[in-house]
Structure 1
């Protein structure tokens, strides 16, 4: 098991089908960093509570809205033009790197918050993903389950 959230996220995201599941959930408004954190907390046996969910969301929301999403919007907006313009393609890759670094920073902040929560409190508790997903993403049980299974095997 990966001790730190960043390593866990990279390892889980690289598993077959997880990237596609995460992108589907993201399209439905879910914060993939929060979901990866939730999977990490489930894997560590951290007890789920509404207060802990709120605390994680309070850390994630402003960073996602003010930092990650604007970078993502620029990257996506430049996708088509970058196929025709090598210089723009290079800049787009730099934006993509910044977006990934912003997500890494968010995961570090989430880990710092959750680091003091006791581990191995519960076994087989599967409430974190559902608690951290948006209502729309909660309807995509297959994507959430794909992420959960991959995280369990990381």
Structure 2
């Protein structure tokens, strides 16, 4: 397991089945960066508590609303037109790169918040996943379980 959140996230996201589950959960309102952070914290044995969750949400909420989602919305809005316009498709790919960089920066911020939280104290993976996804409307809890299994094999 990677020690830093970005490397862990890239590694986890590339595992079979994780990407489509993350995108499905994202379409239901979950923040993928928070999901990956929850997996990372759970795997590290960091105990879940509401104060820790609130600190993560306080960082992720504004950044997601003001940076990540607007960039993603632009990229998605151009999807159809870009399929017929090579120049727009190239620009859309640049926006996609910008979106990924915004997510990387969010993951770095989340890691900084969690620095110093004691590890190897608990097995709270499910608690972390449910906590970080709690604000998502219409969330399919089964998808969280599937994500946990795909990401960790447990």
Give the corresponding residue for 2:59.
Answer: 59
Change (3 A) 1:146 1:99: same
Change (3 A) 1:32 1:96: same
1:72 aligns with 2:72: yes
Change (3 A) 1:40 1:138: farther
Structure 2 portions without partners, runs of 5+: none
Structure 1 portions without partners, runs of 5+: none
Q: C-alpha root-mean-square deviation of aligned residues, in Å?
A: 1.5
Deviates more, 1:53-62 or 1:128-137: 128-137
Query: 1:14 & 1:140 partners in 2: Cα distance?
Result: 22
- Which runs of structure 2 are paired with 1:66-145 in the superposition (5 Å)? 66-123=66-123, 126-134=126-134, 136=136, 139-145=139-145
Contact map agreement 2:46 2:124 (CA 8 A) in 1: no
Instruction: Tell me how far 1:96 sits from its aligned partner.
Output: 0.1
State the number of aligned residues.
153
The two structures have a TM-score, normalised by structure 1, of: 0.93
Instruction: Tell me how far 1:146 sits from its aligned partner.
Output: 2.3
Query: 1:50 & 1:124 partners in 2: Cα distance?
Result: 12
Q: Deviations over 1:13-48 (max 9, x none)?
A: 111111111111111111110010001000000000
Query: 2:113 & 2:94 partners in 1: Cα distance?
Result: 29
